[in-house]
Amino acid sequence: MTITPQISINNSNLVVHGKTILKNVPENIILTPGSGVGLATGAFIGATASHSKSFHVFPMGDNAVQVNERLYMVYMHAGTNPFEVINQAVKAVEKHMQSFRHREKKKMPSFLDWFGWCTWDAFYTDVTAEGVEDGLNGFASRLTGIKENTKFQKSGKDKDQAPGLQHVVTEAKEHHNVKFVYVWHALAGYWGGVKPAAAGMEHYDTALAYPVQSPGVLGNQPDIVMDSLGVHGLGLVHPKKVFNFYNELHGYLASCGVDGVKVDVQNIIETLGAGHGGRVSITRSYHQALEASISRNFADNGCIACMCHNTDGLYSAKTTAVVRASDDFYPNDPASHTIHISSVAYNTLFLGEIMQPDWDMFHSLHPAAEYHGAARAVGGCAIYVSDKPGHHNFNLLKKLVLPDGSVLRAKLPGRPTRDCLFVDPARDGTSLLKVWNVNKFSGMVCVFNCQGAGWCRITKKTRIHDVSPGTLSGSICADDVDLIGQVAGADWNGETVVYAHKSGELIRLPVGASLPVTLKVLDYELYHFCPLMEIAIGVSFAPVGLLDMFNSTGALEQFNIHKDLDKLPELPIGVVSSDTPILLGENKSLAATVVLEVRGCGLFGAYSSQPPLTCTVDSEETSFNYNSEIGLLTLTIPVTQVEMYRWLVEIQF
């Protein structure tokens, strides 16, 4: 079959062999005929842009082909003589033309692995560009066709990259407001390492290595995956060449706009030390190379460590900041959810001193979703879910994530309270788990009933050992927040206001007093301890925060008290009014103004022993409600279009 060079753009129409393929072709679309060197000739379609940027989308016009017809385009830009490549592509087309003649859609034949194609009523694939027509080297291009319109896309990064990943990252950031994109890979490359015999891998000195597990690991948790690797081997990059491996991998990812990596299966490396100086030596070599590459290629130390609790790995990681502190989240394993929470809390006692523990993903639409969500709030960790698209509990997610995509994050890693350090809240049948953390002006304690399941040494898996664990009772107090005194400041007398998230109760708690807690299994309550301040004689105040958020008090960014003269009506000297609690001589009254900076939106709450005179949000007076029985003052913080915005809230007494 021969394709003649009768391809042109006339009167804004792309015409092929006298048939109009596209109409309303924009003026910036350029057609360059092929040279006709081989059996067939074609044409290159390009585009010009008025400005430079890394990603361009060029509309090519409207589809003029009937729905039951298809236009096939084969193309590839490469080297300095793209026309010769076209001739090579057409030869491949001739070889496989029989499959093209069928009207029904088929899977792409194997030859399409190395050049692109497009059907106007289907989708296309990728091509790689090197030295494209407009002289901008290092561009990858692709053509998409979706029935009614067609676009030609160019991405300008690494010249050897396939544009698929970059396109996904660009789409996520530019059109879906995703700020950061991370990519998963294993410390050895993939679960089984890399393929030693693969072309292009020669310079890594890759060879098969066979894991050797310790007797302790084998006795505690034999694993079928490790058994398989022990037989078939793992493709291991030589420790002296592993920096080059990471640097090339991360350089490519960074060129696509990726911001960091989650590096999984880190504990495998310690089993591969034979012939490389032992487990300490090989682990140190891999971690040094990994962190050097991350430092070179990603800003902000973009790395999450995973499956990395082996001692050599933890001690070899010098700059990695985030470490997953748990086993996987198993949505379909009822035995896993209570032990997930308790194990992370206790692991954090160690990990929290050297890294930021990560509590792992969870599902927002799940029987234990609220249980997990509260744990993430008190854990001081990043919040992320692995929901199936379309299966979300947005009411739950809105307790964790603000409209601008940010979270109200506690300041420290969440740790067990002191009275939980030497008990077993998963298996002793009597103990509740209490996890504490702090915000800028308050403390928080989340109490969980984690009883009923744990690791079984006989079956070598997590299992339910008590199918009906009982309801448990305990107590909480301000001292459960280990650093509450530092948060409150030197002038604090020890009295607090406690806000309970689930029940919505607001309780004034005297110095040294405690509150009872009763929970059934897989239940929780999240308490915020807000130091009570005397802002004027007879007026006590404690801001709580956004009442509908898990981390309510995390919304407070600033808290100041100003005492002002001449703010209230004059009263005779010596006369005391319930509305004017403080009196000075010479007919002057003292009033207090509480000034807060609040991040987020929704129902804002505070404790006040007396109702305020006025409340303003960003200098605009706003209505408020005051419940005199419990001292709860509430007002509404509006939604803002500015990310990470701080509202200025003033409450005058």
| pLDDT on residue 256 | 95
**DSSP state letters, 410-476:** -SS--EE-GGGTTS-TTTSSS--EEEEEE-SS-EEEEEE--TTEEEETTTTEEEES-SSPPPEEEEE
Write the pLDDT tens digit of every residue in 262-295. 999 999 999 999 999 999 999 999 999 999 999 9
Give the helix/strand (H/E) hosting 166.
Answer: helix 163-175
| pLDDT band at residue 9 using 50, 70 and 90 as cut-offs | confident
| pLDDT on residue 14 | 83
Which is higher by pLDDT, 651 or 139? Answer: 651
Go through 313-324 and write b for each residue having 16 or more CB atoms within 10 A of its CB, e for each that does not: bbebbeebebbb
Residue 639 in this model has a pLDDT that exceeds 50: yes
User: How many angstroms separate the CA atoms of 491 and 464, rounded?
Assistant: 49
User: How many angstroms separate the CA atoms of 429 and 457, rounded?
Assistant: 19
Write the pLDDT tens digit of every residue in 25-56. 888 888 877 655 444 457 777 788 877 665 67
| pLDDT band at residue 259 using 50, 70 and 90 as cut-offs | very high
Which is higher by pLDDT, 242 or 199? Answer: 242
Go through 563-573 and write b for each residue having 16 or more CB atoms within 10 A of its CB, e for each that does not: eeeebbeeeee
| pLDDT on residue 28 | 86
Which is higher by pLDDT, 431 or 225? Answer: 431
| pLDDT band at residue 154 using 50, 70 and 90 as cut-offs | low
> Which DSSP symbol is given to 577?
B
Amino acid at 182: Y
What pTM was estimated for this model as a whole? Answer: 0.74
Q: Which of 114, 126, 110, 108 is nearest to 162 (CA)?
A: 126
Mean pLDDT check: name the lowest of 190-194, 196-200, 303-307, 513-517: 196-200
User: How many angstroms separate the CA atoms of 49 and 578, rounded?
Assistant: 72
Q: Of 191-200, 251-260, 583-592, which one has max mean pLDDT?
A: 251-260
Write the pLDDT tens digit of every residue in 544-564. 999 999 999 999 999 999 987
Beta-carbon contacts of residue 627 (< 8 Å; ≥ 6 apart): 633, 634
| pLDDT band at residue 104 using 50, 70 and 90 as cut-offs | very low
pLDDT above 90: percentage of residues in the chain: 64
Residue 520 in this model has a pLDDT that exceeds 60: yes
| pLDDT on residue 119 | 28
| pLDDT on residue 381 | 96
User: How many angstroms separate the CA atoms of 15 and 22, rounded?
Assistant: 7
Report the 10 Å Cβ neighbour count for 633.
23
Kindly report the average pLDDT of the chain as a whole number.
83
Residue whose structure tokens are 């999984």? 264
Residue 375 in this model has a pLDDT that exceeds 80: yes
Which is higher by pLDDT, 432 or 7? Answer: 432
Which is higher by pLDDT, 124 or 185? Answer: 185
Mean pLDDT check: name the lowest of 211-220, 408-417, 563-572: 563-572
Report the 10 Å Cβ neighbour count for 143.
21
Token pair in block for residue 471: 């309801």
User: How many angstroms separate the CA atoms of 202 and 302, rounded?
Assistant: 28
Amino acid at 353: E
Average the pLDDT over 410-415 and give the result: 98
Establish how many alpha carbons lie within 13 A of residue 532's alpha carbon, considering only the half-sphere containing its beta carbon. 21
Residue 85 in this model has a pLDDT that exceeds 90: no
pLDDT above 70: percentage of residues in the chain: 78
Average the pLDDT over 68-94 and give the result: 42
Mean pLDDT check: name the lowest of 315-324, 393-402, 576-585: 576-585
Token pair in block for residue 233: 């081997």
Which is higher by pLDDT, 472 or 81? Answer: 472
CB 440 within 8 A of CB 409: no
Establish how many alpha carbons lie within 13 A of residue 383's alpha carbon, considering only the half-sphere containing its beta carbon. 26
Residue 203 in this model has a pLDDT that exceeds 60: yes
Write the pLDDT tens digit of every residue in 478-498. 999 999 999 999 889 999 999
| pLDDT on residue 296 | 97
> Which DSSP symbol is given to 318?
S
Domains of the chain with CATH codes: 7-82 (no CATH), 103-150+163-408 (3.20.20.70), 417-531 (2.60.40.1180), 534-568+587-652 (2.60.40)
| pLDDT on residue 75 | 39
What does DSSP say about strands 602-608 and 539-546: parallel, antiparallel, or unpaired? antiparallel
